[in-house]
Amino acid sequence: MSASSSFPRLRRAALALAAMSALGAQAQTVPELTALAAKEQPALMKTLQQLVEIESGSSDRQGLDRIAGVIAQRLRDLGGQVQLIDPDTTIASPTSDAGDGPAKVGQVVRASFKGGNANGKRLMLIAHMDTVYQRGGLKQQPFRIDGNHAYGLGIADDKQGVATILHALALLKSVGFKDYAEITVLINGDEEIGSPGSNPLITALGGEHDAVLSFEGGGGPTTPDTVRLATSGIASVDLKVKGRSSHAGAAPEKGINALTELSHQILQTRDLSDPKRGLHLNWTMSKAGSVRNAIPERAEAQADARADRFADFDALEAELRKRIQNKLVPDAEVTLSFNRGRPPLSATDASRALAAKVKALADEQKLELVVRDRPTGGGTDAAYASLATKAPVIEGLGVRGYGAHSSDSEYVVVDAIAPKLVLVTRLVMAIGSGKAL
């Protein structure tokens, strides 16, 4: 064959290769992506180990700075334009859903990946790097693999989410997929305390994108993969009683027993939950007195409140304030504060439509997937992302696992990693190119 006769074939091959590069992974079949994900999984496991071995409790600024630096560099290596952002805690005080928190919250890692299609879609991928654990917990819960479970501190909530995002981006890069306008990655360090510093940024960016994908865990160890379109709103209630101390043996009648009044208040509000409406009020913490032989002068209790609709908190607060006027100890002073925290995420027509696409993609790769459009009590940063947008917001795109917030049994399911990586990669392709929206 002459050089002149082979040139057209070479040119056609080059044009075909260029076309495939432009389309990126659209040209990849499910089996091809499955094979690529299987090859990627060992690297993802190493990433999980690296992240788990950095202790990053919400109050551990040293650990959070360290893990933020690692994540930022990984995103730079993947081609992202990366910023490390100190949240403006003057917007919202750094307190948690439970009413406490560090003086200064952790940084936010923000990365932008510019695509090759100006008419494509803009996606935001979110996860968090902070955990509920105190420094030193790694000794009791080190990274380890036991059969089909990978254990570790914060591995399910939410270091698997960070790792899934990093390696989905790696897969997209490996196949040259650029058929999108922009992908934004946002990893915050204050999720476990209600995202007091990062939530304004999450809300603002949510309004600038065509879809938001959140990477909290995607189901339990024995259940199908699950994505969620709705999560609960969270509030905290702080009840305080002021009485008067006196000798419990010699002059109890001269005291005003704050503990007695607190107990009365808790008992008379025990019927305010309405599970059918997704409204829950649970008293979870209390304290009173300082010594056994003195009538307690002060007592206080805290409650966790959940609602499917933020407006339900208004009615709950009004009823609480009404009931505390009914006192058992007339001279006791009773005060109540009601603090609204994380908003609920509600299912929308847009999120249901995108979830149907996720389900279809899962069916194509024979991955069992359940879509839940009713809250089950948990809160999520995806709710903040939904506040300023009508675009679809989907939660639960991380890996299945178990034991979040537990001291010795948090794990992810190893054989669930690669299938979820394939699904996420295909979903990003479908959204970015406009085929899913």
Q: Where do the domains of the chain lie?
A: 27-231+345-432, 234-340
For residue 376, the model assigns a pLDDT of 85
H/E stretch holding 45: helix 30-52
Global confidence as pTM: 0.87
Task: Judge whether 191 counts as a catalytic residue.
Answer: yes
Given CATH 3.30.70.360, say whether it is the number of domain 234-340.
yes
Neighbours of 352 (CB within 10 A): 14
For residue 9, the model assigns a pLDDT of 54
For residue 12, the model assigns a pLDDT of 52
Nearest to 23 by CA among 172, 209, 125: 172
Q: Are strands 211-214 and 122-128 parallel, antiparallel or unpaired?
A: parallel
Listed in sequence order, the DSSP H helices in 374-432 are 382-386, 417-432
Distances (CA, A) of 321 to 45, 249, 265: 51, 34, 11
384: tokens are 């903040």
Place of tokens 């009914």: 326
Rounded to whole angstroms, the Cα distance separating 293 from 305 reads 34
For residue 23, the model assigns a pLDDT of 40
Distances (CA, A) of 105 to 62, 234, 431: 11, 19, 33
Assigned CATH topology for domain 27-231+345-432: Aminopeptidase (3.40.630)
339: tokens are 């603090």
Q: Which of 40, 55, 130, 297 is catalytic?
A: 130
> 131 with 192: CB under 8 angstroms?
yes
Q: Which of 40, 158, 191, 210 is catalytic?
A: 191
E strand spans, 133-268? 144-146, 149-151, 182-188, 211-214, 225-228, 233-242
> 350 with 431: CB under 8 angstroms?
no
pLDDT in tens, 274-286: 999 999 999 999 9
Q: Which residues of the chain have pLDDT under 70?
A: 1-27, 88-103
> 301 with 239: CB under 8 angstroms?
yes
Nearest to 225 by CA among 371, 361, 364, 353: 371
pLDDT in tens, 317-351: 999 999 999 999 999 999 999 999 999 999 999 99
62: tokens are 């040293």
For residue 4, the model assigns a pLDDT of 47
Rounded to whole angstroms, the Cα distance separating 356 from 371 reads 8
Phi, psi of 146 (to 5 degrees): -130, 100
Task: Judge whether 210 counts as a catalytic residue.
Answer: no
Place of tokens 């936010």: 108
Rounded to whole angstroms, the Cα distance separating 104 from 123 reads 29
* Residue 314: partners with Cβ closer than 8 Å, 6 or more residues away: none
